[in-house]
Structure 1
Amino acid sequence: MKKVVTDIPKYDLKKFKSVHRQDDGLASFGYNHIEKAKTIEGFEIYSSEGLIRSIGPLKSDFYRVSITVQGSLDMQIGLDRFPNKARTLAFTFPNQIFSKSNFSADTFGYYILFNADFLNDLIPSIKITDEFPFYNLSGTPVFQVSADELEGMVELLMKMNAELQSTKTGREKAIRMYLYLLLLEAKRSYEKQTIGDESEDKPESYRLASRFRKLVAIHYLTKRQVSDYAEMLGVSANHLNKTVKEHSGHTASEAIREMLLQEAKSLLRYTDHSVAEIAYKLDFSEPASFNRFFKSYTGETPLTFRKMNN
């Protein structure tokens, strides 16, 4: 009988630290070794010193801002891959599957994690995606800024950290204001660069392929057929397949399977569920089918992947 797994790993701030921080990290910036009395509900800030060098695929229920100051790394959000190099900003919002890997030895940067309601005094949580385009499904979540813009953002990070480590009156409100200003500066750079999938200089076929990838990242567990997405996008399945392959080199069906593969990796790496439980959760008819699927894409069995990544 199938044992249904319902708790696909999704982390909140209280449970996330062990996933992204090394136990012996010596960094003193931000939350790394903060006194409990100085912590602030719904907000954390770190430098990349002490960061685990391979994260995900996983989900979280909070917003993320990361700033790569130097070095390079690879990031994947849903089906989209983004190389991060010096002066790169990256943003993710709740329920997205993301991962980071291939950090260069000299990589250094900062990142902020915050709950949806953390900025409620300044902007209602339901307005965040409207206010900041990089948190919108139709926006571009990773982009570079100029050296001057980066310097200004790092200054805001330093001010946040100074308030965090202090006991001054109004420190929480000050941090919220500095975070809002950082997001505002990112938005100004985004708009100045006319970033976004809906830019006029991008062809309709590109925008269609991009919308497809983002829809798959949301619906892949319940919609497994290309025709499902073709209907949502108002095109034929054949046209969607042709367009997706033209822009990515892979068919639409392969994109759907790639998201399933990310989900499988997340379950194997971050839960104790058996391979059989995971197979049934992902709606495979039997564990053997799941094993064949996983090995065909990774070259290793689910159990081997789990052993190598735990």
Structure 2
Amino acid sequence: MQPIETLADFYRRHPVNNQTEFAENNTGQGHFNVFLRQPCLQRSPFGRRDFYKVTLIIGKGKMIYEDREVPINRPALVFSSPAVPSAWESGPGPQTGCFCLFTQAFIEAGEYKGRLPDFPLFQPGERHVLELDDTQLALISGIMDRMRDVIASDYRVKYDMLRSYLRVLMHEALMMSPVLMAESHAGAAARITALFLNKLEEQFPIDSPEQSFGLRSPAEFAESLAVHTNHLNRSVKTITGHTTSRLISERILREAQALLKHTDWSIAQIATGLGFDEPAYFTNFFKKLTGVAPGGVRGR
């Protein structure tokens, strides 16, 4: 079993890059650095690293993973993470390009939404090598060249700026992979829907007519989840095929039916417990969904 390579191991293996910037917390919030791929090692050791790396490869070679080898014969962007052991082997001809390496603490500082290990291009089993056309190569090269300029500057908050460039780089890469982008959106929709359904279920059971019924509308649920109402509605519709309002109404209806059958509360008490301002509003709601009045269910 190969030992896990640390940042210190990396800098010992790359003495030309062993600058004063190698400290594990060089940014104050994690580590970040960016380098040219010159000189390029003929082969890197196979194994895991305790840091993340994004490499722009211009030159021939192959990425080696546990279950496969990926030949590279044209410019490519490679995403490496602690979760995926790998190695690089150079092919014939010149090697150019550049790479940035960073820790999870660096990218997740500030206002980053989400966890770095959840980013599709860093996950095990996903596509980690993106071949680039000329337009994409120019875009990625421009971002990484700008990173090199910024890190060499005396700008006081340069690491905030570098963090922003890194996020742009990650999302530009995701846009270059439509399948992964679609899966990312679907995954986000599934997570939001699961959070909504959990939050909905937390409103029940109603144990007392005096119990305060918290969330009733899509807007209230969206606010509690810190997402826009339209985003919540789209996510729920995508995953369940039903509207947010319908799922809320159906859950309130099921609770109403349970209270009618298993308690001796009055219709007015049930209406109050379920958050209706007037018993008549509850009766109209119940009759609209079931075709019968609440009293008809209780009498069965």
- The question of 1:18 aligning with 2:12 is answered yes
- The question of 1:77 aligning with 2:65 is answered yes
Q: How much does 1:105 deviate? A: 2.4
Q: Give the Cα–Cα distance (whole angstroms) in 1 for the partners of residues 81 and 149 of structure 2.
A: 26
- 2:143 corresponds in structure 1 to 156
Contact 1:48 1:110 in 2 (8 A): yes
- 2:103 corresponds in structure 1 to 115
Alignment of 1:213-228 (within 5 A): none
Q: How much does 1:103 deviate? A: 2.9
Q: How much does 1:138 deviate? A: 3.8
Q: Give the Cα–Cα distance (whole angstroms) in 2 for the partners of residues 89 and 149 of structure 1.
A: 10
Contact 1:73 1:107 in 2 (8 A): no
- 2:126 corresponds in structure 1 to 139
Determine which of 121, 135, 153 is the counterpart of 1:166. Answer: 153
Q: Give the Cα–Cα distance (whole angstroms) in 1 for the partners of residues 47 and 11 of structure 2.
A: 13
**SS of the residue aligned with 2:162?**
helix
Q: Deviations over 1:171-211 (max 9, x none)?
A: 010000001111111011112xx369x8xxxxxxxxxxxxx
Alignment of 1:1-310 (within 5 A): 8-19=2-13, 21=14, 23=15, 25=16, 32=17, 34-36=19-21, 40=27, 41-69=30-58, 71-120=59-108, 121-123=110-112, 127-130=115-118, 132-191=119-178, 194=179
Q: How much does 1:90 deviate? A: 1.1
Among all aligned residue pairs of Structure 1 and Structure 2, give the percentage whose two residues are the same amino acid.
Answer: 19
Question: Of the two structures, which has the highest relative contact order with CA contacts closer than 8 Å and spacing of 6 or more?
Answer: 1
Report the RMSD for the aligned CA atoms in angstroms: 2.6
Alpha-carbon spacing, 1:37–1:99, altered in 2? closer, same or farther (3 Å): closer
Alpha-carbon spacing, 1:180–1:127, altered in 2? closer, same or farther (3 Å): same
Alpha-carbon spacing, 1:48–1:37, altered in 2? closer, same or farther (3 Å): closer
Q: Give the Cα–Cα distance (whole angstroms) in 2 for the partners of residues 78 and 158 of structure 1.
A: 32
Q: How much does 1:16 deviate? A: 1.3
**SS of the residue aligned with 1:64?**
strand
Give unmatched runs, 5+ long, in structure 2: 184-300
Alpha-carbon spacing, 1:11–1:160, altered in 2? closer, same or farther (3 Å): same
- 1:258 corresponds in structure 2 to none
Q: Give the Cα–Cα distance (whole angstroms) in 2 for the partners of residues 36 and 68 of structure 1.
A: 23
Q: Give the Cα–Cα distance (whole angstroms) in 1 for the partners of residues 104 and 158 of structure 2.
A: 19
Q: Give the Cα–Cα distance (whole angstroms) in 2 for the partners of residues 59 and 134 of structure 1.
A: 16
Give unmatched runs, 5+ long, in structure 1: 1-6, 26-31, 199-310
Letter in 2 for 1:49: Q
Q: Deviations over 1:5-43 (max 9, x none)?
A: xx9511221221223x2x4x4xxxxxx364549954411
Q: Give the Cα–Cα distance (whole angstroms) in 2 for the partners of residues 171 and 61 of structure 1.
A: 24
Q: How much does 1:108 deviate? A: 1.3
TM-score normalised per structure 1: 0.52
